[in-house]
Structure 1
Amino acid sequence: MSTAKPETALLAYCRPGFEPELAAELTARAGERDHWGHAATERNSGVVRYVCASAALLERQLAFDDLIFARQKLLGLVRLDGLDPKDRITPLLAALETTRETVAAASGGTLRFGDLVVEHSDADEGRELAGLARGFGNALRPALRKPGWLTDKPDARKPRLHVLVHSGTRMELALSRVEDSSPWPGGIPRLRQPPNAPSRSAAKLDEAIHTLLTDEERQTLLRDGLRAADLGAAPGGWTWVLVRAGLRVTAVDNGPLKDPVAGHPQVEHLRADGFRWQPARPLDWMVCDMVEQPRRVAERMAEWFREGWCRNAIFNLKLPMKKRWDETVMCLDLFRAQAGELKALRARQLYHDREEITVFARR
């Protein structure tokens, strides 16, 4: 027999294995706003819940762009257990009825969702549910439209309904506000590897540009004729992303570059140490993916801004195996304190990141 457990909670997805870091972040962010509760998760699940009495208000106060370890931010509504594989839709519709007040508050009183997302976690067990999620979504859409829970066409003015599939008998309902959440299912960007890239790391910078920069920033800050430096450039993946955006790049690395970056007319290769080299004149961009202690990288990146060597930067901070949230806070605080006045500072653990976070800074 299926059971529905209404539980309003801040629900967030993360890279599997980083649940403790996201739990620590949500706890800290909620505490700063006087929302006292507790974070609950299962190791390697890729999902964290922050349960508190004021979760709906917390979800509105805590901007998705301010979160570092979250791939997606949702308002959890109901957890359903013991679903009958022969009929999962009937108990789901019944469970939605128990959330009418919360949904009405999020949708301006209309009790309608503008879209449906049926998804699974990025954990190994979750990815095995991709077929079930796809098929269930196709069956659920018309069932939601009939009683008026779902609009006939996607409507970004209304919240999205998310169904998180944990197993064939366990699912979870949540909602997201389009303007303050990831647009991608599971919070994972569907981006292709830049063609002819000399390394897979190119996808990381491409994701950072699409995730950490606004549409306006992408149009104005990445265009033909701008100049950039890539510190620790070899074999050239990040340089290639900048070249394809029209920038002229100084690739700084003692190691060799690979085609098509090597010998490219927009690339100057300097065999030098990225921690020592500095430009002769200010640059529009500096990017850095060097493997080094995060505090040392944060200090070096701050020096570039303090000395006026660049206007914009994207760089990675490689995190230690323990106390990764503490190290993240310390490094970003250090960068802020030493970099001088900033117009923007955003950080995120990207899908293509591993034991690291990626940071965008703008003077």
Structure 2
Amino acid sequence: MSTDGLLAYCRPGFEPELAAELGERAAIAGCPGYARTQRNAGYVEFLGVEDGAALSRALPWSTLIFARQKLRLLADVAGMDPKDRITPIMEVLGGRGRYGDLMVEHPDSDEGKQLAALARSFGNALRPALRQRGLLTDKDDPRLPRLHVMMLAGDHALLASADAKDASPWPLGVPRLRAHADAPSRSALKLEEALMTLLTEKERAEFIKPGMFAADLGAAPGGWSWVLARMHVRVLAVDNGPMAQTAMDMPIIEHIRADGFRWQPPKPMDWLVCDMVESPRKVADRMATWFREGWCKHAIFNLKLPMKKRWDETRDCLQHFVDHAGRPLTLRAKQLYHDREEITVYAG
């Protein structure tokens, strides 16, 4: 059945937060609708809108906090014959133009992961069929929309499209990062993903250069300091707790035993990073102080969310940060794949 709206992927369990974010922001943009989802499904459909294209433009993927991926919903195809899933999909796609790429996916949920093999095999069958009909280019073309097929069951799929400039480039919206054996902690992956997701390639090259200085508040055991040091950034690692030896073996990391909420840098830093376990309002307030006092140019920090009203707390904490930072800032926030009950924020 053809439809119009948005399809967004999220961390399983955070569907209510994503639904609330989409609903509130769509209403503010003058494109009201309603969210449809189930707890732990790993995705949200936003339906009932008059103009899905206008809504998609009003809610860029890079500005959505709880969405790993944002797509334009095309159709809900149910009741497919497992012996011929291609024909009903072709019928829906007829007359919609060509696509420059194809991703056949499954929800990132316990139930959805059981469909991984089906998604892989069906993608291998669907791709040449689309090319034979002239619906998919022979080689990937980012100038054209990307077709997404989300398998919900053996006989049920959602069809959606993505603008390569307004969507995550990774399947399921999840970058594949490899853990390093000598990383002090798995939190290193969190900062690596943040740098990939919240900064463009051009910004990474411009904002992070060898010889720069960074402060890492709540650094122990040193995962984030280690990532920055590998990029040849000199790090003041601030924490009363012990640092891992693999971090301290890097001469450009200096461990300062102090409280991250009270410590002040000896001079302005190029970067501030912070992954302290504290209330999100307290962290947001301290981050605002760093910008207001001119202690840093750029920052990446985490906000640990409460168990209830997580969208409200996210919105309010980010607004508190903006109101108290003392100067205009570029602000981006995402719940990353390597995040759990938290979001990661870039400001600069």
- Fold-level match, TM-score > 0.5? yes
Counterpart position of 1:244:
230
Per-residue deviation, residues 125-172 of structure 1 (Å, max 9, x unmatched)? 111111111110010011001111000100000000000001111111
1:53 aligns with 2:50: yes
Residue aligning to 1:11: 7
Contact 2:225/2:247, CA 8 A, preserved across alignment: yes
Match of 2:79 in 1: 82
The answer to whether the aligner puts 1:255 opposite 2:255 as a matched pair is no
Verify: 1:71 aligned to 2:82, yes or no.
Answer: no
Of 166-175 and 188-197, deviating more is 188-197
Give the alignment's TM-score, normalised by structure 2: 0.98
1:44 aligns with 2:40: yes
Instruction: Give 1:26's aligned residue.
Output: 22
State yes or no: 1:288 paired with 2:274: yes
Identity %: 61
1:259 offset after TM fit, Å?
2.3
Contact 2:26/2:58, CA 8 A, preserved across alignment: no
State the shift of 1:215 in Å: 1.0
Give the aligned length. Answer: 347
Matched to 2:325, the amino acid is A
Following superposition, the deviation at residue 193 of structure 1 comes to 2.0
d(CA) in 2 for partners of 1:132, 1:231: 45
User: Do the aligned partners of 1:194 and 1:241 also contact (CA within 8 Å) in 2?
Assistant: no
TM-score normalised to the size of structure 1?
0.94
Q: Do residues 124 (structure 1) and 98 (structure 2) align?
A: no
| Alignment match, 1:106 | none
CA distance in 2, matches of 1:225, 1:236: 19
Match of 1:147 among 123, 129, 133: 133
> Structure 1 pair 243/195, CA: closer, same or farther in 2 (3 Å)?
farther
Instruction: Give 1:62 shift.
Output: 1.5
- Aligned counterparts of 1:342 and 1:240: Cα–Cα separation in 2: 30
1:161 alignment counterpart: 147
Q: Deviations over 1:21-49 (max 9, x none)?
A: 00000011111111121111111101111
Q: 2:180 & 2:134 partners in 1: Cα distance?
A: 42
Q: Is the 8 A contact 1:342 1:361 kept in 2?
A: no
After TM superposition, give the deviation of residue 76 of structure 1 in Å. 0.6
Q: Give 1:306's match in structure 2, choosing from 292, 299, 318.
A: 292
Correspondence 1:338-357 to 2 at 5 A: 338-357=324-343
Aligned partner of residue 261 in structure 1, secondary structure: helix
Q: Could you tell me which runs of 5 or more consecutive residues in structure 2 were left unpaired when the two chains were aligned.
A: none
The code of the aligned residue for 1:182 comes to S
Instruction: Please tell me whether the aligned partners of residues 8 and 55 of structure 1 are also in contact (alpha carbons under 8 angstroms).
Output: yes
Question: Which residue does the alignment assign to 1:107?
Answer: none
List structure 1 runs of 4+ shifted beyond 2 angstroms. Answer: none
**Equivalent-residue separation in structure 1 for 2:229 and 2:17 (angstroms):** 35
Tell which deviates more after alignment, 256-265 or 13-22.
Answer: 256-265
Alignment of 1:144-293 (within 5 A): 144-293=130-279
| Amino acid aligned to 1:34 | G
CA distance in 2, matches of 1:308, 1:63: 30
Letter paired with 1:167: A
1:332 counterpart (312, 318, 321): 318
- Please tell me whether the aligned partners of residues 112 and 148 of structure 1 are also in contact (alpha carbons under 8 angstroms): yes
Q: Partners of 1:294 and 1:270 in 2: how far apart?
A: 24
1:297 aligns with 2:283: yes
AA of the residue aligned to 2:55: L
- Cα displacement (A) at 1:195: 4.7
Q: Are residues 1:62 and 2:33 paired?
A: no
- Is the CA contact 1:27–1:39 (under 8 Å) kept in the aligned structure 2? yes
The residue type paired with residue 262 of structure 2 is R
Please tell me the residue identity of whatever aligns with 1:346. R
Paired residues of 2:104 and 2:150 also in contact (CA < 8 A): yes
